[in-house]
């Protein structure tokens, strides 16, 4: 399945600032380490994991310690048969430790945790999606830079050939065997080639600037790549590739998680208005309790051990139909997620079929462009021989030279398109470049 590695082989590049070779896998590694979209996806994944861990705490009792010290006044003492005592101390102290645990909630806790784990898996798929996108962006930039560099060399060779031909034409003009029209026609052809070279060089400069930005290098840093296009082909089984895409596309994994999350949210909504059973217990020291030991000696300021325990059932009685509409909303979201998954499946299938067709078509065009180069080169050699013999005109030679140059550029474009079609097929079936 690693078709992209068969399609294009990058030898190495040189980065002057680091004095180290830059290979395609090294470039991808640098980009993935520094790009903010990867950092964002990783942090969102860690946040999702933390949220899941936070929800699992509901499976354990919650324990808290409380200490209060409150001064109350004025104090109103009672006189009873000569005995004077207070109903409460002026300085009230209470220190206790309490615990509460949800015994049963009809699965609300477990469903919330499951929903959070689904979100965690979605965050993982988002990270993979961002990683894949950056990998293919770097791959595309590498192949485009190689294409433009090769096209630049072909164009330069064509301009040099036109320069040599211009010298010959001028010699023939001096000898009286050519006219100024031949010189003008050659100059026009040379100007067209120079204009084409400017366009290629400009696009090459822009692509290198984008690659430097992705790598985090300065715009002055040189980028020198060595590599070539490969034209290997392999059998493409449509059914197996579509099946592979369904199992490996991160977008489909996201859609499946969204479907699962919608299902869980519907289940949570269905039990929203069901009772919840909690138990609680606490113990500590508190003053304000009278001394019951005979003979009576009231000292309510002394802290004494106290405790409490109990159970509570929370039963929602009326919520203005809130739970009913929550359930309806969740059910509709579940149906929508199912429809979104079906739509995505159709799109993935179409993308794979289109990518397969592009690979087959671009590979077939390679044989044609190779033949065009052979024919154009042979035609140019014959035109030059005939021109030297005075059988054909300068215009025929210029046409032959232009045909040969265009045939070379066309073959480069076909190689580039074949490589890009392989990349698109890899993306369509969910292949991760270089095993990232």
End-to-end CA distance of the chain: 14
Query: What backbone phi and psi angles, to 5 degrees, belong to 107?
Result: 80, 10
pLDDT tens digits, one per residue of 45-66: 999 999 999 989 888 899 999 9
* 3-state secondary structure at position 97: strand
State the pTM of this model.
0.72
pLDDT of residue 79: 61
In the predicted model, residues of the chain with pLDDT beneath 50 are 1-20, 294-295
Q: What is the spatial distance between Cα 286 and Cα 93, in angstroms, rounded to a whole number?
A: 6
pLDDT tens digits, one per residue of 379-390: 999 998 988 888
What DSSP line would sit under 85-153, residue for residue? EESS-SEEEEEEEEEEEEEE-TTHHHHHHHHHHHHHHHHHHHHHHHHHHHHHHHHHHHHHHHHHHHHHH
Residue spans of alpha helices (H) in 307-393: 322-388
pLDDT of residue 72: 74
pLDDT of residue 11: 36
pLDDT of residue 52: 92
pLDDT of residue 404: 92
All domains of the chain in start order, with CATH: 3-431 (1.20.1600.10)
Work out the number of other CB atoms within 10 angstroms of the CB of residue 83.
10
């Amino acid at each position: 399945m690693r078709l992209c590695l068969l399609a294009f082989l990058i030898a190495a590049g040189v980065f002057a600032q680091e004095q180290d070779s830059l290979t395609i896998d090294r470039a991808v590694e640098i980009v993935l380490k520094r790009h903010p979209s990867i950092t964002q996806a990783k942090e969102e994944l860690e946040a999702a994991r933390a949220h899941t861990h936070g929800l699992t705490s509901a499976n354990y009792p919650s324990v808290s310690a409380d200490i209060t010290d409150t001064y109350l006044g004025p104090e109103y003492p009672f006189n009873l048969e000569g005995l004077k005592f207070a109903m409460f101390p002026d300085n009230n102290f209470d220190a206790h430790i309490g615990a509460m645990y949800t015994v049963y909630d009809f699965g609300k806790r477990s469903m919330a945790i499951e929903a959070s784990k689904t979100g965690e898996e979605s965050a993982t798929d988002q990270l993979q999606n961002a990683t894949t996108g950056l990998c293919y962006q770097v791959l595309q930039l590498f192949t485009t830079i190689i294409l433009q560099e090769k096209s630049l060399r072909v164009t330069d060779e064509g301009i040099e050939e036109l320069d040599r031909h211009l010298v010959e034409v001028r010699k023939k003009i001096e000898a009286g065997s050519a006219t100024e029209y031949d010189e003008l026609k050659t100059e026009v052809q040379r100007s067209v080639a120079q204009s084409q070279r400017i366009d290629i060089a400009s696009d090459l400069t822009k692509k290198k600037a984008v690659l430097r930005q992705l790598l985090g290098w300065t715009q002055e840093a040189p980028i020198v790549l060595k590599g070539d296009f490969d034209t290997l082909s392999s059998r493409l089984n449509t059914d197996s590739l579509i099946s592979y895409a369904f199992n490996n596309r991160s977008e489909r994994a996201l859609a499946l998680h969204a479907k699962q999350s919608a299902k869980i949210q519907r289940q949570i909504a269905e039990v929203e208005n069901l009772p919840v059973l909690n138990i609680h217990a606490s113990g500590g020291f508190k003053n304000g309790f009278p001394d019951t030991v005979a003979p009576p000696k009231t000292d309510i300021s002394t802290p004494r051990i106290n405790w409490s325990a109990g159970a509570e059932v929370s039963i929602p009685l009326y919520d203005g139909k809130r739970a009913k509409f929550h359930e309806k909303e969740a059910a509709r979201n579940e149906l929508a997620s199912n429809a979104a998954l079906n739509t995505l499946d159709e799109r993935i299938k179409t993308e794979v079929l289109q990518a397969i067709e592009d690979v087959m078509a671009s590979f077939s065009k390679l044989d044609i462009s190779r033949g065009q180069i052979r024919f154009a080169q042979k035609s140019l050699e014959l035109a030059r021989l005939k021109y030297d013999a005075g059988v054909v005109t300068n215009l025929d030679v210029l046409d032959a030279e232009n045909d040969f140059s265009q045939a070379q550029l066309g073959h480069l474009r076909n190689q580039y398109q074949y490589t890009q079609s392989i990349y698109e097929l890899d993306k369509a079936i969910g292949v991760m470049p270089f095993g990232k």
